[in-house]
């Protein structure tokens, strides 16, 4: 069910869990996170007890029943308890009053989770709960068409585009100051010359 080295690690982590339970019972038993801590403490104890009884069982049928019970308890802890416990243990760190205790709780929880996943029944059950990936059908006969350099047609050159000024025909061209003016300007000049004559010029012709 569980290798000997993993079982020894699980015993060590449970010893830390049990020590934390007795040292902090009177002070933190009213806290919200203690409820999940208590559930983990009792659940891990059931797992270890079930493994010991399964190893000592002489009948195969009894051994299989105990292994199923251990897998069920471990699966319940992983799917229903440890996720919420991880959230509440982080809240202990966030409060800042018992930071060391919060770090120990999170570290112990992560170690227990990795060890419980090593149990045979838990692994198979977890994979059954995962959604399978959608399979994509590929037609093996459809291999496509081979393309060569000659088979690829070159794109035809696009015709030249003549830029048109939208305001070319609408707005009249401005005349430069240096351009000669029309007949109207010559009349204006003659009128100006006539006005420039004084009364003395009229007398003497």
CA–CA separation, 81 vs 115, rounded Å? 15
Instruction: Dump pLDDT digits (tens) for 69-103.
Output: 999 999 999 999 999 999 999 999 999 999 999 99
Pick the residue with more confidence: 31 or 183? 31
Q: Is the pLDDT reported for residue 183 higher than 60? A: no
pLDDT at 177: 52
CA–CA separation, 189 vs 5, rounded Å? 118
Pick the residue with more confidence: 146 or 89? 89
- Grade residue 122 by pLDDT with cuts at 50, 70 and 90: confident
- Catalogue all structural domains in the chain, each as residue range(s) with its CATH number: 2-119 (1.20.1440)
pTM: 0.60
């Amino acid at each position: 069910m569980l290798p000997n080295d993993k079982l020894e690690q699980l015993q060590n982590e449970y010893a830390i869990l049990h020590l934390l339970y007795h040292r902090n019972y009177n002070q933190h038993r009213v806290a919200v996170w203690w409820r999940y801590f208590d559930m983990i403490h009792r659940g891990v104890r059931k797992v270890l007890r079930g493994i010991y009884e399964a190893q000592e069982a002489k009948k195969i049928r009894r051994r299989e029943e105990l292994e199923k019970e251990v897998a069920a308890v471990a699966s319940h802890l992983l799917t229903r308890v440890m996720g919420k416990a991880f959230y509440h243990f982080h809240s202990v760190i966030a409060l800042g009053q018992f930071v060391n205790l919060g770090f120990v709780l999170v570290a112990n929880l992560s170690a227990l989770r990795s060890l419980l996943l090593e149990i045979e029944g838990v692994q198979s059950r977890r994979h059954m709960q995962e959604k399978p990936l959608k399979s994509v059908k590929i037609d093996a006969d459809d291999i496509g068409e081979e393309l060569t350099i000659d088979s690829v047609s070159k794109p035809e050159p696009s015709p030249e585009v003549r830029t048109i000024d939208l305001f070319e025909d609408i707005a009249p061209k401005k005349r430069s100051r240096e351009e000669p003016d029309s007949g109207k300007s010559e009349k204006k000049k003659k009128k100006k010359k006539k006005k420039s004559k004084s009364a003395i010029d009229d007398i003497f012709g």
